[in-house]
A = this chain, B = another copy of it.
Amino acid sequence: MESTFYNYLKKKVLVKSEHLPLLAREVSKKMLSKGDLLLTEGQVCKNMFFVEQGLLRLYSIDEEGREHIIQFAPENWFMSERGSLYFGSPSVFFIDALEDTKAVVFDQQFVDRASEISPEYRTYNEYILQNHIRQMQKRINLLIGATAEKRYLEFIKLYPDLAMRIPQWMIASYLGITPESLSRVRRGLTQK
């Protein structure tokens, strides 16, 4: 019961102690192994994951078989394909585990009920959505306006810890360039 998730609900989401037991019933915990696939293209996403330990990834695969990474979720982040979860439409994305991962699993019903039971949860849920939008806006702005080098620098500034945990080609995939290009960008930077 004294899990990372409940600490998070208490300390960060500020859910009142009396509400916690009510929320407890609705979630389950899952141990995932590196490489485990949690959501496939075409499937309707039913779950939301809270990462207690480890790392999850949301990505697409195009016609040529290339992976494009939409999002990472390290510790204390929520991961889901919201488009599919909320709207019930088939997902065009995949979710898998990049490391052995301890995650709390719940569904949209949990979010809805938690929002009814706890106003604090509702508030925090909106905060998460707003924050997500802000972050994506920033990313779009970089993708349409900045060079590969600047995008890379922004990435390691924003997620210095992440950059150490994932292979370089995944950073490249996140930035929208090839691994070779990223390698050259990095060489260019060290020569300064």
Could you say which residues of chain B place their CB within 8 Å of the CB of A137?
A: 70, 82-83, 93, 136
Could you say which residues of chain B place their CB within 8 Å of the CB of A93?
A: 137, 141
Could you say which residues of chain B place their CB within 8 Å of the CB of A86?
A: 130, 134
Q: Indicate whether A187 reaches chain B with its CB closer than 8 angstroms.
A: no
Q: Which residue of B lies closest to A85 (CB)?
A: B130
Contact pattern, A 79-113, Cβ under 8 Å of B = 1, otherwise 0 = 00011001100001100000000000000000000
Q: Is the CB of A133 within 8 A of B129?
A: yes
CB proximity of A88 to chain B, nearest CB, Å: 11
Stretch of A26-34, A153-161, A168-176 that contacts chain B? A168-176
Q: Is the CB of A82 within 8 A of B134?
A: yes
Q: Is the CB of A87 within 8 A of B134?
A: yes
CB proximity of A151 to chain B, nearest CB, Å: 10
Q: Indicate whether A144 reaches chain B with its CB closer than 8 angstroms.
A: yes
Given A129-B129, A129-B130, A129-B133, does the pair A144, B175 have CB atoms closer than 8 Å?
yes
- C-alpha spacing A139/B66, complex, angstroms: 17
Question: Which residue of the partner chain, among B68, B92, B139, B144, contacts A173 with CB atoms under 8 Å?
Answer: B144
- C-alpha spacing A174/B66, complex, angstroms: 24
Task: Label chain A's interface by main secondary structure.
Answer: helix
Q: Is the CB of A70 within 8 A of B140?
A: yes
Q: Indicate whether A60 reaches chain B with its CB closer than 8 angstroms.
A: yes
Interface residues of A (CB under 8 A from B): 60, 62, 66, 68-70, 82-83, 86-87, 92-93, 126, 129-134, 136-141, 143-146, 173-176
Sort A-B residue pairs by CB-CB distance and give the 3 closest, nearest first. A144-B176, A83-B134, A68-B145
A129-B129, A143-B144 given; name 13 further pairs at CB < 8 Å: A62-B146, A66-B145, A68-B144, A70-B140, A70-B141, A82-B133, A82-B134, A86-B134, A93-B137, A129-B130, A133-B133, A136-B136, A143-B143
